[in-house]
Structure formats: structure tokens, C-alpha cells
Chains A and B, each alone.
Chain A
């Protein structure tokens, strides 16, 4: 019984599977199952947002005024680009071009960093105006009762999303290091694909967050 590390790029696979292909397809199914849970978790926030927006349109109208669509649009473009580079990263590994793949993965992480940088700018600007979440809110309400509720949503949704961006960056860095080390090849790239799928869901959530927060009044 092997006790050493399994070198999967040589086509080896864990003992409880019948083949490398079964291991690959099983792992992918596991990732899809996990991604479904992320949709449901974030989705709960979207549901609450729509319900409250229906109940208090004035709160959401006033709150949205403090968001700049320019930052939102730039961030959307940044994340879309990162999804492209993530997909290309896997594409190059599938073709055995590991150094090209590594470049794409690094760009993906950098895009994530740019995204977080812009978020930092946005958050700082809001804090400057006293637009803190919940009880800490000290900004202008413009006469709208319970305006802080809007910012609670804003920080909760972008905050949870931001945590996932950071997690994704960490995961991509991990697979990038492994790519540089030569762990992957056309016969085995499962972790890269799994991480990639996670990253795309992070992008997917932003695709909906952008119009929700920045564009719809």
C-alpha cells in the first residue's frame, strides 16, 4: 500500500477511485455542489435586499446616491478580465504550456488586488462621510428614516463578497505556486479547475451586485 505522496500528473489517482477520470469528474461534481451552496448563501442577501427595497424604496433611492457607478463599472471590467485570465490559465495547462498558465494566474490575482484596492477607496470615501454600517452610522440621512439600513446591506453584501475575493486570491496563489512547481499537466489539473470555478462564481455574484447596488434606483 503506497504511503508516499501521489504524483497525480503522471496519471496516478487515489486508491478508492477506479481511474483518474473518475477522480477528476467526482472532484468537479464536489465543487459544483459547493458552488450551489454559495449561490444560496449570497442569494439570501439578495432576497432580503429586494424585500426591503420594495418596502422602503426611499431608503434605497437615497442610499444609492452615495455610490459611484464609475468605480462599480471599473470593478466589473476588472473581475470580468480576471475570469478570462483564470479560464486561460486552465486552457494553457490543458495544452501543457505551464509558464503561460502561470502568467495568466498571476494576472488573475493582480486583478483581484485591483478590485480590492478600488473597494478600499470606496469604503474610505464612505467612512469619511460617516456612512458606517448599522449603529455606527453618523452621516447625512437627508430626512430619510432608517437610512442606515441601506448601508447595512451595502457593507454586508460587498463585505461578504470581498472576503470571497480575498479567499479566491489566496487559493489562486496556491495553485499558481503548484503550477510553477510543475504539479499540473494535461493529464491532471483538477485543483486549478476547482479554484477557477470558485473564482468564476465570485465574478458571477459581482455581475449581479453591480446593477443591484450601482445602477438600479
Chain B
């Protein structure tokens, strides 16, 4: 049985509940981690957990796990090109050399 092409796939009730509870636990976790000072790592951990939550929503609530590859590529492209915008703008900002005005 090919899961990828099961167009009218019905996700079981239990699966949804497990995912939901995981999301709530991860939310509690992210709040708790924010109270502990890991320095600069705090931001990475927060977004790391957010990404795990996002993947759960995408894969299970939005059924990407059972979707055709094309739709996954379409959604992934959005994130990919966003990253591109960020990286190149960042390269500009961090490599700027302040110059004294001669005026």
C-alpha cells in the first residue's frame, strides 16, 4: 500500500491527539527553556523547538506526510527562498565597513 498516493487518506483520531499533546508539551518546554539562561543559544533552542512544532503541524495536521512530493517541494521552496533572502541580506550587513565621512 503506497501511503504517498493515498489521496483520500484518513488520519486516525489517536494520531491527532498524540500530535496535539506533543505540541502542548513542546510549548511548555519552550517556555521553561526561556527562563533558563543559555546565553546566545536561547534563540536557537527556541526556534529549534518551534521548528519541531511546525514540522508536526505540517506533517500531520496538514497531511504533508501523506502528500505527493510535488506539494512538499512547493511548500519547502517557500522556506528555501526565504532563507536565501535572509542569508544574502545578512552577508551584506555583516560585511559592511563603516567609513568616516569626508564631508
Q: Is the interface of A mostly helix, strand, loop or mixed?
A: helix
Check B86 against A47 for contact (C-beta < 8 Å).
Answer: yes
Residue among A46, A77, A211 making CB contact with B46, cutoff 8 Å: A211
Residue among A24, A39, A91, A207 making CB contact with B13, cutoff 8 Å: A91
Contacts A91-B16, A200-B57; A21 near B7 (Cβ below 8 A): yes
Measured between beta carbons, the chain A residues less than 8 angstroms from B89 are: 47, 51
Q: Is B97 an interface residue (CB 8 A)?
A: no
Question: How far apart are the CA atoms of A96 and B30 in the complex, in Å?
Answer: 38
Q: Is B74 an interface residue (CB 8 A)?
A: yes
Count of CB-CB pairs between chains A and B under 8 Å: 124
Q: Is the interface of B mostly helix, strand, loop or mixed?
A: helix
Measured between beta carbons, the chain A residues less than 8 angstroms from B49 are: 211
Size bracket, chain B contacts: 35 or more
Measured between beta carbons, the chain B residues less than 8 angstroms from A208 are: 47, 50, 54
Check A29 against B74 for contact (C-beta < 8 Å).
Answer: yes
Check A77 against B24 for contact (C-beta < 8 Å).
Answer: yes
Measured between beta carbons, the chain B residues less than 8 angstroms from A73 are: 27, 31
Report the minimum CB–CB distance from B93 to chain A (whole Å). Answer: 6
* Interface set, chain B 8-35, CB cutoff 8 A to A: 8, 10-11, 13, 16-17, 19-20, 23-24, 27, 30-31, 34
B-to-A contact residues, CB < 8 Å: 7-8, 10-11, 13, 16-17, 19-20, 23-24, 27, 30-31, 34, 42-43, 46-47, 49-50, 53-54, 57-58, 60-62, 67-68, 70-71, 74-75, 77-79, 81-82, 85-86, 89-90, 93
